[in-house]
């Protein structure tokens, strides 16, 4: 049931956080939870958790609606009818009852929103694919029973949420928002309680200094696993541990908490993958791999989206190639989750130490030119700085007046880089559907992030993706065909070796895999033909077109993508 080295390490981390007596109490509580959940969670497979067949679809549970069935059933139907053999992994964004932030202000971790469906719908979908669930563990809704009990003076919820003196100097705290850090609430006794609210006044931060909070959240993780989750996205973990007078971001104590959660999950099942969500500078982000065995098995590659956008906006791969060339991992069992778009915008913070200020401003200008929005964060000196570009990725890298062919070619080329990078690729549903900025939804909700959170009527969107004359149909067809090709080649294993290849700054290229399985992935970042020289060792079949590329000079068409499988030399192009 337990790996003793991991178990012993967990105890050491617990003692460091809480002292010996409290740590022992937490261990006993975890062991009780194991007894409770072992019978309902199944057993681990003992097999590698991820391989080259795995591509993740990111979607809300109600992205598709037909006006009759619960949206989770409609999502399952869309997967069954259009995505079989394409996406083995599906990330359903928070599906619990919530009060704000499109699900990230959770009221009840143990329920599915009635307007979405039921746990049976989750189980039904998980029979066809592996589910990734959100564990929103930094905060929960101010309307939640837990918080109401806290304000009511319930002894079981005492100390469950982080409080601070409003007169304390909290200027060093790193903020992802411009809203106040502390929010005043009145408790049942009529006393003011100033609660830490990192993201909004409705999202009250949990207090991990209280070991009962850690136990409660481990039970939430166990419950999600018992309901079929095989990947767990730990949301906003950057801010878990608060320490006035510090940044309260990515503290050593936070890393200890993730290591404890990793160990506890491994005691229940050995095939559940933990993904940490930390939209911070790259060197801070990759620290969540730990030593390669003791923390997250997968980390969001947050620098990748802005770097891909920069590359297509400038038609230049230099920054992306230089950064990618230095990518390294602390072990053979961890990897990146690669993406260009998600339910959130494109973060600017991850490239603050990679792109200079002018290059960062160029990203902001591109978002603005595409009728996108820019969200800011507040620095300790009171100044505001761009934090996130709210824009579909298709629009972010587009040009005013683009013809549909050019728009689609450029966008598909950007997604080809996501699919080629070492790690597991993730495609956001709005990218798969070729969606553009939804300004009407922004006006409706008043939230910048709604620009990339469109809802689709099932019959209408399926009609569009099946019509190869539409933008949506062209994007959907080309991306799904590219993924099907990727899925049959072991060179794209998440843990396979890679090497950045230099074909000049107008091209981004890398080789995945080794020896006879190696594939060189080449992407033209520009709207014109680029001459490249294919050497003898890279001669082979171009997998996306099923042609053979001979040695010598070739013109790579505008926004072209070539995946060359080495060693296939029959014929010539």
Q: What is the pLDDT of residue 377?
A: 82
Evaluate whether 558 touches 528 at the Cβ level (below 8 Å). Answer: yes
As a whole number, mean pLDDT of residues 232-252 equals 96
Where does 498-566 sit in CATH, by number?
Answer: 2.60.40.1180
Q: What is the pLDDT of residue 568?
A: 55
Q: Name the E strands within 339-402.
A: 346-347, 373-378, 384-390
- On whether the pTM is more than 0.75, the answer is yes
Q: What is the pLDDT of residue 572?
A: 38
Look at 41-55, 310-324, 476-490 and tell me which has the smallest mean pLDDT: 41-55
Element (H, E) at 399: none
Q: Who contacts 320 (Cβ-Cβ below 8 Å, separation ≥6)?
A: 307, 308, 310, 311, 417, 508
Buried b / exposed e over 104-131, threshold 16 CB at 10 Å, is: bbbbbbeebbeebbeeebbeebbeebbb
HEC string of 402-436 equals CCHHHHHHHHHHHHHHHHHCCCEEEEEHHHHCCCC
pLDDT tens, residue by residue, 76-104: 999 999 999 999 999 999 999 999 999 99
Q: What is the pLDDT of residue 573?
A: 39
pLDDT tens, residue by residue, 192-210: 999 999 999 999 999 999 9
Residue 308 has pLDDT above 60, yes or no: yes
pLDDT band at 376 (very low <50, low <70, confident <90, very high): confident
As a whole number, mean pLDDT of residues 8-19 equals 96
- Computed over every residue of the chain, the mean pLDDT equals 95
Evaluate whether 245 touches 268 at the Cβ level (below 8 Å). Answer: no
**DSSP assignment of 39-78, as one string?**
TTS-----S-S--TT--EEEE-TTSEE-SSS-HHHHHHHH
Burial level of 233, CB count in 10 A (0-12/13-18/19+)?
Answer: buried
CA-CA distance, 91 to 111, in Å (whole number)? Answer: 17
Residue 571 has pLDDT above 50, yes or no: no
Percent share of the chain, pLDDT over 90: 90
> Computed over its alpha carbons, how large is the radius of gyration of the chain?
24
C-alpha atoms less than 13 angstroms from C-alpha of 426 in its C-beta half-sphere: 26
Buried b / exposed e over 40-57, threshold 16 CB at 10 Å, is: ebeeeeeeebbbbbbbbb
Q: What is the pLDDT of residue 203?
A: 98
Write down the domain spans for the chain: 498-566
As a whole number, mean pLDDT of residues 452-465 equals 98
Evaluate whether 478 touches 412 at the Cβ level (below 8 Å). Answer: yes
Angle at 334 between CA 332 and CA 338, to 5 degrees: 125
**Catalytic residue selected from 62, 235, 344, 409:** 235
Q: What is the pLDDT of residue 183?
A: 98
Evaluate whether 501 touches 510 at the Cβ level (below 8 Å). Answer: yes
Look at 88-102, 144-158, 372-386, 512-526 and tell me which has the smallest mean pLDDT: 372-386
pLDDT tens, residue by residue, 325-337: 999 999 999 999 9
CA-CA distance, 540 to 218, in Å (whole number)? Answer: 50
Expressed in percent and rounded to 5, the helix, strand and coil fractions of the chain are 40, 20, 40
Is 235 catalytic? The answer is yes
Residue 177 has pLDDT above 90, yes or no: no
CA-CA distance, 161 to 187, in Å (whole number)? Answer: 13
Backbone angles phi, psi at 487, to 5 degrees: -65, -15
CA-CA distance, 201 to 182, in Å (whole number)? Answer: 8
pLDDT band at 107 (very low <50, low <70, confident <90, very high): very high
Evaluate whether 311 touches 525 at the Cβ level (below 8 Å). Answer: yes
Residue 569 has pLDDT above 70, yes or no: no
- The residues pairing with 427 across neighbouring beta strands, listed in sequence order, are 57
Residue 570 has pLDDT above 60, yes or no: no
Evaluate whether 161 touches 185 at the Cβ level (below 8 Å). Answer: no
As a whole number, mean pLDDT of residues 19-38 equals 97
Percent share of the chain, pLDDT over 70: 97
Q: How many residues does the chain have?
A: 573
Residue 5 has pLDDT above 70, yes or no: no
Residue 160 has pLDDT above 90, yes or no: yes
pLDDT band at 567 (very low <50, low <70, confident <90, very high): confident
CA-CA distance, 210 to 155, in Å (whole number)? Answer: 13
């Amino acid at each position: 049931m337990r790996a003793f080295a991991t178990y012993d390490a967990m105890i050491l981390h617990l003692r460091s956080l809480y002292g010996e007596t409290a740590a022992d109490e937490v261990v006993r509580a975890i062991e009780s939870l194991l007894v409770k959940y072992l019978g309902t969670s199944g057993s681990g497979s003992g097999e590698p958790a991820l391989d080259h067949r795995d591509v993740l679809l990111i979607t809300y549970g109600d992205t598709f609606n037909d006006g009759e069935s619960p949206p989770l059933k409609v999502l399952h139907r869309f997967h069954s009818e259009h995505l079989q053999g394409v996406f083995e992994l599906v990330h359903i964004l928070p599906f619990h009852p919530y009060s704000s932030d499109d699900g990230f202000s959770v009221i009840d971790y143990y329920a599915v929103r009635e307007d979405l469906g039921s746990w049976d719908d989750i189980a039904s979908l998980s029979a066809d694919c592996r589910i990734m669930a959100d564990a929103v563990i930094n905060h929960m809704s101010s309307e939640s029973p837990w918080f109401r009990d806290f304000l009511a003076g319930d002894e079981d919820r005492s100390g469950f949420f982080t409080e601070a003196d409003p007169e304390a100097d909290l200027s060093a705290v790193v903020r992802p928002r411009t809203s106040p850090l502390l929010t005043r609430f009145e408790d049942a006794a009529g006393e003011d309680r100033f609660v830490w609210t990192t993201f909004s006044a409705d999202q009250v931060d949990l207090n991990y200094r209280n070991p009962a909070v850690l136990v409660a959240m481990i039970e939430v993780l166990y419950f999600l696993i018992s309901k079929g989750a095989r990947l767990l996205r730990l949301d906003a973990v950057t801010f878990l541990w608060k320490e006035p007078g510090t940044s309260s971001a990515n503290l050593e104590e936070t890393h200890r908490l993730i290591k404890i959660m990793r160990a506890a999950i491994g005691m229940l099942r050995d095939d559940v993958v933990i993904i940490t969500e930390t939209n911070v500078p790259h060197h801070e982000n990759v620290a969540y791999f730990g030593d390669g065995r003791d923390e997250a098995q997968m980390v969001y590659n947050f620098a990748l989206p802005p770097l891909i956008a920069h590359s297509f906006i400038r038609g230049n791969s230099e920054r992306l190639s230089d950064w990618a060339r230095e990518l390294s991992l602390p072990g053979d069992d961890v990897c990146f989750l690669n993406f260009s778009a998600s339910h959130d915008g494109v973060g600017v913070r991850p490239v603050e130490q990679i792109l200079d200020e002018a290059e960062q401003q160029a990203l902001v200008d591109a978002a603005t030119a595409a009728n996108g929005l820019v969200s800011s964060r507040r620095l300790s000196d009171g100044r505001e700085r761009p934090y996130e570009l709210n824009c579909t990725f298709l629009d972010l890298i587009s040009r005013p007046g683009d013809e549909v062919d050019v728009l689609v070619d450029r966008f598909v080329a950007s997604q080809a880089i996501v699919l080629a990078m070492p790690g597991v690729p993730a495609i956001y549903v709005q990218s798969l559907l070729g969606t553009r900025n939804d300004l009407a939804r922004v006006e409706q909700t008043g939230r910048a992030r709604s620009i990339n959170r469109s809802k689709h009527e099932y019959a209408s969107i399926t009609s569009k993706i099946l019509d190869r004359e539409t933008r949506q149909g062209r994007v959907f067809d080309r991306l799904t065909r590219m993924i099907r090709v990727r899925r049959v080649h072991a060179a794209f294993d998440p843990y396979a070796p890679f090497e950045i290849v230099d074909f000049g700054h107008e091209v981004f290229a890398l080789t995945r895999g080794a020896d006879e399985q190696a594939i060189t992935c080449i992407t033209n970042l520009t709207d014109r033909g680029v001459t490249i020289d294919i050497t003898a060792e890279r001669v082979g079949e171009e997998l996306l077109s099923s042609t053979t590329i001979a040695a010598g000079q070739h013109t790579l068409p505008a926004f072209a993508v070539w995946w060359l499988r080495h060693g296939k030399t029959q014929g010539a192009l």
